[in-house]
């Protein structure tokens, strides 16, 4: 027999059996699939995802903020260390300003180390950035004044 004829013959036999005993065919059809309606629904109905509680969502959001603010804090600390390289002269006690500024920065970062409130952390980061920028601006202005003063002294000679 050719494959087409065999396929048609098996289809005809199964249709004939369903006419004779429809419950027998229905049972075998159910056994090939899920046993109960609940199983059928579980497999084919889209389930809603469990909505996270507001507290869980807020905690996750805070963790993300802390991770990003932690990176920002490290970046700020590195910027402070880089900026203090330019302060190479001693203060009135004979201690180099670079060391004084680094100790103060370390002390302030350690004091705010375990701060959990994102608003306070953000405020501290913004204040730190502003302080570093203003210190560098003042340093650059003083350097310009010194250069101008030295050039004025040379011109007088």
Write out pLDDT tens, residues 36-55.
Answer: 667 666 666 666 665 556 78
Shared-domain flag, residues 78 and 136: yes
Shared-domain flag, residues 73 and 144: yes
Shared-domain flag, residues 37 and 58: no
Q: Among 14-28, 37-51, 53-67, 119-133, where is mean pLDDT lowest?
A: 14-28
- Token pair 């003083």 in the structure block, residue: 142
Shared-domain flag, residues 71 and 110: yes
Q: What is the pTM of this model?
A: 0.55
Closest CA to 104 of 132, 123, 130: 132
Shared-domain flag, residues 105 and 28: no
How many domains are there within the chain?
2
Supply the mean pLDDT for the chain.
79
Closest CA to 72 of 129, 116, 133, 119: 129
Shared-domain flag, residues 28 and 81: no
Nearest-10 Cα torsion for 94, 99, 104, 109: -170
Domain coverage including residue 61: 54-156
Q: At what angle do helices 3-20 and 22-32 cross, to 10 degrees?
A: 120
Whether the predicted pLDDT of 63 surpasses 60: yes
* Residue 49 falls inside a structural domain: no
Shared-domain flag, residues 64 and 130: yes
Q: Among 28-32, 62-66, 146-150, where is mean pLDDT lowest?
A: 28-32
Shared-domain flag, residues 40 and 58: no
Q: How far apart are CA 55 and CA 61, in angstroms?
A: 10
Confidence of residue 107 (pLDDT cuts 50, 70, 90): very high
Shared-domain flag, residues 105 and 147: yes
């Amino acid at each position: 027999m050719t494959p087409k004829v065999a396929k048609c013959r098996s289809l005809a036999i199964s249709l004939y059996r369903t006419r004779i005993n429809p419950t027998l065919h229905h049972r075998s059809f159910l056994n090939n699939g899920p046993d109960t309606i609940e199983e059928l629904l579980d497999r084919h109905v889209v389930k809603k995802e469990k909505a996270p509680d507001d507290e869980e969502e807020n905690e996750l959001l805070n963790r993300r903020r802390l991770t990003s603010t932690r990176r920002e804090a490290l970046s700020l600390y590195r910027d402070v260390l880089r900026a203090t390289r330019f302060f190479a002269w001693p203060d009135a006690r004979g201690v180099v300003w670079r060391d004084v500024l680094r100790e103060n920065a370390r002390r302030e970062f350690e004091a705010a180390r375990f701060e959990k409130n994102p608003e306070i952390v953000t405020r501290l980061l913004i204040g730190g950035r502003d302080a570093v920028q203003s210190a560098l601006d003042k340093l650059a202005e003083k350097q310009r004044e010194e250069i101008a003063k030295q050039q004025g002294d040379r011109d007088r000679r």
